[in-house]
Amino acid sequence: MMLFKASSATFLALGVGFILGAGGSILFMKYTNDRHVFGVLENLLIKIDELKYQVDSLKEVNAVKRNYSPLGSSGDEEFVDAQGGGPYDVKNPKVGESPTAHREHIDGFYDVVGGKGGDSFFLKVDTLMEGTITERKKAYKLLQDSKEKYEGNIDFHWRLSKSTFQMAETHKPQSEEKKDLLLVARDLANASLALNVNSSSAHKWYAVIVGSLTEYLGIRQQIELAYSIKYHIEQGLKLNPKDAFLHYMLGRWHYRVYMMTWMERKIAHLIFDNNPPQTSPQETLAHFMTAEKLRPMIWKENLLHIARCYAEMEKYSEAVKWLLKAKKIRRSEIDDEKTDKDIEDLLSKYISYG
């Protein structure tokens, strides 16, 4: 684990710039301040024992609706419900419960709906949400002004949750304004799942939004939410296996598990009965490669992660090949300079193997 471990601080500092994560990339995502979401996922302390989580989930009965708890405290003793309550039980989700037929079609990283009715409106909103901050604000206003018309429409509700998330990302990290909007976005995402639990986009944006809320939580709450986030990523992929963004998110989940520090693993062993999650660079690489296959040569951050996996496996010539590919991709307005610097740093280290 030499590369991942030695570079832990660098990876944690990659930051955010969704959804997924809070500086993203170019056409590959365009949903939002993509790197921000990825940074949020990167910083999740994923130390839950998956088997324990699944067994515990099976033991739970349908949760009684709870009032949403404020996320003002980051203490570990007081549980803060970032998942929220409501008609969809996110702790015991059962795919197939929704009476609404699944009718979405998502083209890779683009949330584009298919079907009849409202398509021109949704396409206009999608285009605006992929644009500048000013255009995203226009999309948000359009959605707010159309609530009554599209009440109960799943395609409307997950877009409104996404747009509300985008508005939250315009505020400073850990600010009250951002938190308030994230809570609204969380509730909207939960309502979307209640409308149609077979909506890939609803699962995707629920995972993104709850992941972003973890910045207001303590370590224990972050850990407890990690597998809920993974669950919704995987459910999204079951419903739409061609969503490159979800494959990337799952890759980052495994990547974070693999790069846990010695101290983090010790804590995980203590908290979760000596059975923390395990993964490998090969498994992690598979998720990034799937994303790349679906959306080739579009997002340099994904190519950078592919190179890192190869370097960890000591396949340095392959790492150099992917770093050179990543270097050729033009940086978009929502990328920061950190990705380019990381590419150059790794190239200088391994270029002799090329």
Q: What is the pLDDT of residue 86?
A: 56
pLDDT at 89: 53
For residue 98 the two structure tokens come to 């929704």
Which residue type sits at 334?
I
Per domain, the residue ranges of the chain are 2-353
Give the three-class secondary structure for 52. Answer: helix
Helices (H), the chain: 2-6, 8-12, 34-43, 50-59, 119-129, 133-145, 154-168, 176-195, 200-213, 219-239, 244-258, 262-271, 281-294, 300-312, 316-328, 338-350
pLDDT in tens, the chain (354 residues): 444 433 332 222 222 223 333 333 333 334 444 455 545 544 544 444 444 444 444 444 333 233 333 333 333 333 346 777 655 555 444 433 332 333 233 333 445 444 444 689 999 999 999 888 999 999 999 999 999 999 999 999 999 999 999 999 999 989 999 999 999 999 999 999 999 999 999 999 999 999 899 889 877 677 677 778 999 999 999 999 999 999 999 999 898 889 888 887 777 777 667 777 789 999 999 999 999 999 999 888 999 999 999 999 999 999 999 999 999 998 754 456 788 999 999 999 999 987
Provide the CATH number for the domain formed by 2-353 in this structure.
1.25.40.10
Cα-Cα-Cα-Cα dihedral sign, residues 310, 316, 318, 324: positive
Nearest alpha-carbon partner for 206 in 145, 238, 164, 150: 164
22, 46, 67 from 173: Cα distances, Å: 9, 21, 25
pLDDT in the model for residue 3: 42
pLDDT of residue 209: 95
How is residue 225 written in tokens? 């939410």
Distance in angstroms (rounded) separating the CA atoms of residues 80 and 103: 34
The residue among 299, 297, 304, 301 whose CA lies nearest residue 320 is: 304
Could you please report the per-residue DSSP string of 143-185?
A: HHHTTTTTTT-HHHHHHHHHHHHHHHTTSPTT-HHHHHHHHHH
Q: At what angle do helices 219-239 and 200-213 cross, to 10 degrees?
A: 170
Sign of CA dihedral 97, 103, 109, 112: negative
Residue 321: predicted pLDDT = 97
Q: What is the pLDDT of residue 48?
A: 40
